[in-house]
């Protein structure tokens, strides 16, 4: 696969094209200077010994292993995902460390983050490093390297709705959605002033709640808008044809959720850039926590959040997706559920909470060597190190693991455990030794692969994939091994 510029006068309109590779196998064959990827690829390391070239192993063109790692959105590397990433970082950090004059020189790690608490502890657990905040705090409170307080600027406004007198929370949603949708159509002004508030972002805490909201828009909200038109006089009898022109019709609604195909997401994002009065402008966009990062559409300035999100960081990140242009102030309407004590508490302390929102950001939890994580993936670390560091084990697992390699692999992993979670050393050691003993005793025919086929007894099997009937006799000995980070919970 090659990428070429379509411009005949461009230097990259040649047979060589652009120096870009996107296929894994081609990247392993010709490792680039810069690699852009996700932590999802960490799980493929024990399955793909060819990826060793990325770390300078068997790569004659590499002067050294990678010496700079840039991690974006560090605050998302938390919880179950953060624990697995911290677990696999044992291998990544070791393979990226070079030795010069007897000194071990690990790679430099630069991570960007937002809405995070106790970042020092998180960095320690994930990367095994001490951390330094850059840029440091400014000399004045309320100012930083990135921003200063501007009293004269119009910022983002938060409004809380608590419909305790309504029959149900669904009824409140219907009323709030109808009001927010109809309001922009009542304005008489230039299109560029109405456009920021024409597309309504609806944020939900779960797919179940989102499905209910989508049903509301398609049925109840449309019906309720008829009552709104009669109440405010948008009828032929009250205001004539001019009044009817201010009616709002909801025909174009989209969603940004994890249940969408990855190929559909760029299309929806592109549609969100369409401005009013374009005939295909999006009226409503339903979203879940998927939009917390990566959504940067400057024209969006109106959002409703259905129910208080569970975490303060999620609330801050989600609501900051709108009002990103200082000339288009944002409006966030949080629709609290009066039947949930937590929502009631947030409504009662609405102003204090929003004046000190960052104070309430919860610290992240990362446990890279807890027993469940070790049971799931510590053997993947051992296999990766063995295949990468010992050429004899690269493609053959049926000879067991030689003692020198075993000792080296064991020391690398346990040194990391002692560094980030010394209280887990005993249990992690037991799980690791049990796997290494089984590998030596069983001497499986092959390491295994993604295909779901095996010539004999494999050492590993993709987690989540059912064993074929011919391998059922080996159940309990074959290690279920992650092949991605998408099913870590």
pLDDT of the residue at 290: 83
Q: Provide CATH 3.40.50.300 ranges for the chain.
A: 157-357
pLDDT recorded at residue 215: 84
Q: How far apart are CA 70 and CA 172, in angstroms?
A: 44
**β-strand pairing of 108-111 with 68-71:** parallel
The token pair that represents 80 in the structure block: 């179950």
pLDDT score for 452: 63
- DSSP result, 7-34: -TTSTT-SSS--S---SHHHHHHS--S-
Q: Classify 111 as helix, strand or coil.
A: strand
Contact 185, 247 (CB under 8 A): yes
Cβ atoms 300, 201 nearer than 8 A = yes
Non-local CB neighbours of 273 within 8 Å, separated by 6+ positions: 297, 299
Phi, psi at residue 187, to the nearest 5°?
-80, 135
Q: Residue 244 and residue 457: Cα distance in Å, rounded?
A: 73
How many other C-beta atoms are found inside a 10 Å radius of the C-beta of residue 220? Answer: 17
Residue environment code for 228-246, b if the CB has 16+ CB neighbours within 10 A, otherwise e: bbeeeebeeeeeeeebeeb
- Token readout for 205 is 């805490």
Beta-ladder partners of 272: none
**With contact defined as beta carbons under 8 Å apart, do 425 and 414 qualify?**
yes
In degrees rounded to 5, what are phi and psi of residue 336?
A: -80, 145
In this structure, the number of other CB atoms found within 10 A of the CB of residue 403 comes to 9
DSSP single-letter state for residue 362? P
Q: Are 269 and 236 in contact (CB under 8 A)?
A: no
- Tell me the β-bridge partners of 306: 204, 335
The CATH code of the domain at 157-357 is 3.40.50.300
Residue 254 belongs to what H/E stretch? strand 253-256
Beta pairing class for 460-462 and 479-481 = parallel
Phi, psi angles (nearest 5°) of residue 230: -70, -35
As a whole number of angstroms, the distance between CA 439 and CA 408 comes to 16
Per-residue confidence (pLDDT) for residue 454, from 0 to 100: 67
Task: Look up the pTM and report it.
Answer: 0.83
Q: Crossing angle of helices 79-96/371-389, nearest 10°?
A: 20
Separation CA 460–CA 361 (nearest Å) = 40
For residue 427, CA distances in Å to 4, 87, 284, 309, 476 come to 53, 15, 51, 36, 19
Does residue 126 contact residue 368 with C-beta atoms inside 8 Å? yes
Residue 487 is predicted with a pLDDT of: 67
Report the pLDDT value the prediction gives residue 244, as an integer from 0 to 100.
81
Predicted confidence at residue 97, as pLDDT, reads 95
Closest to 477 (Cα-Cα) out of 465, 459, 456? 459
Burial of 380 per CB tally in 10 Å (0-12, 13-18, 19+): buried
Q: Which H helix or E strand runs over 332?
A: strand 331-336
Q: List the end-to-end C-alpha distance of the chain, in Å, as a whole number.
A: 35
Q: How much is the pLDDT for 68?
A: 95
Scanning 273-370, the segments in alpha helix (DSSP H) are 312-319, 341-348, 350-355
How many C-beta neighbours within 10 Å does residue 149 have?
Answer: 11
* Per-run averaged pLDDT (10 residues), the chain, 489 residues: 88 88 90 91 93 92 91 88 94 94 93 86 93 80 75 84 89 91 89 93 90 83 86 76 82 86 87 90 90 84 93 90 89 93 94 90 89 94 95 91 95 96 95 95 88 78 86 85 78
Look at residue 423 in the predicted model and tell me its pLDDT.
95
H-helix or E-strand spanning residue 91: helix 79-96
How large is the C-alpha radius of gyration of the chain?
28
DSSP state of 219: I
Apex 322 CA angle, 320 and 327, nearest 5: 115
Burial class from Cβ neighbours inside 10 Å (0-12, 13-18, 19+) for residue 214 reads middle
- CA-CA-CA-CA torsion sign (368, 371, 375, 379): positive
DSSP three-state, residue 365? coil
Instruction: Name residue, tokens 């009662």.
Output: 348
């Amino acid at each position: 696969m090659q990428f070429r510029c379509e411009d005949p006068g461009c230097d990259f309109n040649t047979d060589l094209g652009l120096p870009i590779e996107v296929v894994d196998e081609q990247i392993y064959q010709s490792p680039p200077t810069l690699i852009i990827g996700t932590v999802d690829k960490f799980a493929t390391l024990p399955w793909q010994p060819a990826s060793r070239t990325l770390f300078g192993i068997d790569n004659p063109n590499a002067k050294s292993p990678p010496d700079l790692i840039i991690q974006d959105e560090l605050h998302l590397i938390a919880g179950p995902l953060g624990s697995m990433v911290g677990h696999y970082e044992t291998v990544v950090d070791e393979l990226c460390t070079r030795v010069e004059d007897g000194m071990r020189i690990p790679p430099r790690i630069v991570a960007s983050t937002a809405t995070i608490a106790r970042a020092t502890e998180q960095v320690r657990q994930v990367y095994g490093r001490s951390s330094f905040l850059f840029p440091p705090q400014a000399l004045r409170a309320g100012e930083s390297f990135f921003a200063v307080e501007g009293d004269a600027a119009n910022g983002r406004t938060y409004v809380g709705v608590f419909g305790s007198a309504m029959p149900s929370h669904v009824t409140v949603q219907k009323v709030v959605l109808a009001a927010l949708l109809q309001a922009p159509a009542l304005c008489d002004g230039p299109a560029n002033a109405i456009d920021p508030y024409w597309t309504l972002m609806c944020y939900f805490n779960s797919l179940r709640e989102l499905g209910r909201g989508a049903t509301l828009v398609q049925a109840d909200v449309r019906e309720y808008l008829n009552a709104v038109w009669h109440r405010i006089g948008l009828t032929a009898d009250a205001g004539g044809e001019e009044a009817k022109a201010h009616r709002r019709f909801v025909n174009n609604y989209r969603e940004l959720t994890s249940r969408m195909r990855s190929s559909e997401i760029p299309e929806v994002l592109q549609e969100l850039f369409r401005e009013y009065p374009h005939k295909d402008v999006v009226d409503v966009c339903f979203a879940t926590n998927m939009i917390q990062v990566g959504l940067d559409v400057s024209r969006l300035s109106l959002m409703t959040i259905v129910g208080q999100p569970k975490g303060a960081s999620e609330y801050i990140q989600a609501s900051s997706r709108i009002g990103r242009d200082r000339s288009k102030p944002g409006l966030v309407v949080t629709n609290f559920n009066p039947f949930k004590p937590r929502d009631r508490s947030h409504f009662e302390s609405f102003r204090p909470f929003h004046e000190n929102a960052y104070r309430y950001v919860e610290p992240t939890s990362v446990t890279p060597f807890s027993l469940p994580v070790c049971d799931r993936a510590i053997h993947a670390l051992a296999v990766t190190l063995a295949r990468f560091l010992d050429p004899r084990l690269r493609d053959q697992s049926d000879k067991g693991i030689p003692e020198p390699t075993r000792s080296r692999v064991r020391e690398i992993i346990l040194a990391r455990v002692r560094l980030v979670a010394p209280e887990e050393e005993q249990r992690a050691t037991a799980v690791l030794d049990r796997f290494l003993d089984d590998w030596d005793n069983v001497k499986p025919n092959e390491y295994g692969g993604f295909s779901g086929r095996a010539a004999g007894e494999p050492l590993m099997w993709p987690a989540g994939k059912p064993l074929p009937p011919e391998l059922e006799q080996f159940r309990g000995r074959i290690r279920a091994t992650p092949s991605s980070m998408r099913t870590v919970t």
